[in-house]
Amino acid sequence: MKLSQTLAKKTLAVSASLALALGGALAFTGSAQAVDATGTTLTFEADDAIGTAAGSGAFEGGAAEIAASPAGHAGKVLKFTKSGQAWSGVNLVLPDSNLRITTGDLPVVTMDVWSGATAATPVMFKLQSAGGWPGSHNCLKALEVQPGWNFLSFDMSTAKCIDTDNGWAGENYQTGVSYIVAAVFPNFGADDTTYTGAAAEAVNNQIYLIDNIQFNTAAASAPTAKITGPSKKVVRVEVANAGGKQVTVKIAGVRTWTSSTTFGAGSKTLNFSVPSGTYKVTVTVGHKTVVKTQVVK
């Protein structure tokens, strides 16, 4: 199916902020406003109104809900079940949220995605401006995910874009455009013709979990953990880029520590007092695990 035909079917069919305009085209009501420079994160917790609304944002036969996280991942997640059309997905942000998703100098959107597919599959992310269909500016970026947890960084400045009003494709992300709609299409990447990763699996009720969606960020890095030493009766763990993620440290034979809340932004150092010896230390940050044998004097 051609890109213009596919896009015309897939997003923005579920929001009360959408109205039918003359000729049957979809038009938006409301306006967008900028967020502050620290960015906006969808956590899908009880105090996240925009993220909570995404639980009812599935379209084209898919199903979405806010669900409890699996073991090792704190809090709530957006759970999406792939069914219906190949391009089924979920609206993450709609115009009535009054959130301007990206700004010209901050085109990166990051998120954690858990894939229940049996092999690598694409996940496509879409930004859309205020024009509705037709008449909007749409940017599409697909990335490959492996089974299990993945950290995805969508740099929309390199996305495939189309202006549905002027009928052109292949342009770049526009710094002068306010993008106020966001959608994600798990197990689908066909509309990003620049995508070269694994093909989508046949639609068969695959489960995808989505969490910690960060808008208005600089180019982001995956969370990291480093076990350092040797130190005198101390195991030292340095964690970076762990915003919104739970951290677990296991020192074999001694103790297991799990953060009571998710970590904030920035870098943190954790110190654990232990007797002298040699230990297997395992650190898990979100979906990333680091293991090291550490000597403690």
| pLDDT (tens digit per residue) in 41-91 | 888 988 888 899 999 999 999 999 999 988 667 789 999 999 999 999 999
Instruction: Please choose, from the candidates 211, 186, 218, the residue with its C-alpha nearest in 3D space to the C-alpha of residue 105.
Output: 218
Do residues 66 and 52 touch, judged by C-beta distance below 8 A?
yes
Q: What is the dihedral of CA 129, 135, 137, 138, to 10 degrees?
A: 100
- Judge if 232 and 213 occupy the same domain: no
- Domain boundary at 178, 199, 217, which? 217
186 has pLDDT over 90: yes
Instruction: Please choose, from the candidates 60, 70, 38, 12, the residue with its C-alpha nearest in 3D space to the C-alpha of residue 210.
Output: 70
- Domain boundary at 217, 237, 271, which? 217
Q: DSSP letter at 205?
A: -
- Judge if 63 and 105 occupy the same domain: yes
- Judge if 212 and 154 occupy the same domain: yes
Q: CATH number of the domain that 85 lies in?
A: 2.60.120.260
Instruction: Please choose, from the candidates 221, 219, 226, the residue with its C-alpha nearest in 3D space to the C-alpha of residue 247.
Output: 226
Cα gap 290→8, rounded to integer Å: 44
Peptide bond into 122 cis (omega under 30): no
Higher pLDDT pick, 25 / 194? 194
- Judge if 212 and 244 occupy the same domain: no
Number of Cβ atoms within 10 Å of the Cβ of 148 = 11
- Domain boundary at 217, 248, 276, which? 217
Cα gap 161→169, rounded to integer Å: 6
Q: What is the pLDDT of residue 142?
A: 96
207 has pLDDT over 80: yes
Q: CATH number of the domain that 254 lies in?
A: 2.60.40.10
Position 99 confidence tier, pLDDT thresholds 50, 70, 90: low
- Judge if 96 and 213 occupy the same domain: yes
Q: In this predicted model, what pLDDT tens digit does every residue of 248-286 receive, in sequence order?
A: 899 999 999 988 776 766 788 899 999 988 999 988 876
Q: In this predicted model, what pLDDT tens digit does every residue of 279-297 receive, in sequence order?
A: 999 888 766 678 888 888 8
* Enclosing domain of residue 36: 3-217
- Judge if 160 and 267 occupy the same domain: no
- Judge if 88 and 107 occupy the same domain: yes
- Judge if 76 and 178 occupy the same domain: yes
Number of domains present in the structure of the chain:
2
- Judge if 235 and 127 occupy the same domain: no
Residue 165, Cβ density class (10 Å: 0-12 exposed, 13-18 middle, ≥19 buried): middle
Q: What DSSP element (H or E) covers 256?
A: strand 255-258
Helices (H) and strands (E) in the chain, counts: 2, 22
- Residue 214's φ and ψ, nearest 5 degrees, are -110, 120
Peptide bond into 134 cis (omega under 30): yes
Q: What is the pLDDT of residue 160?
A: 85
- Judge if 96 and 235 occupy the same domain: no
- Judge if 17 and 142 occupy the same domain: yes
pTM, to two decimals: 0.68
Q: Return the amino acid letter for 235.
A: V
Question: In the sheet that 234-240 helps form, which strands lie side by side, from edge to edge?
Answer: 224-228, 234-240, 268-273
Cα gap 121→123, rounded to integer Å: 7
- Judge if 81 and 211 occupy the same domain: yes
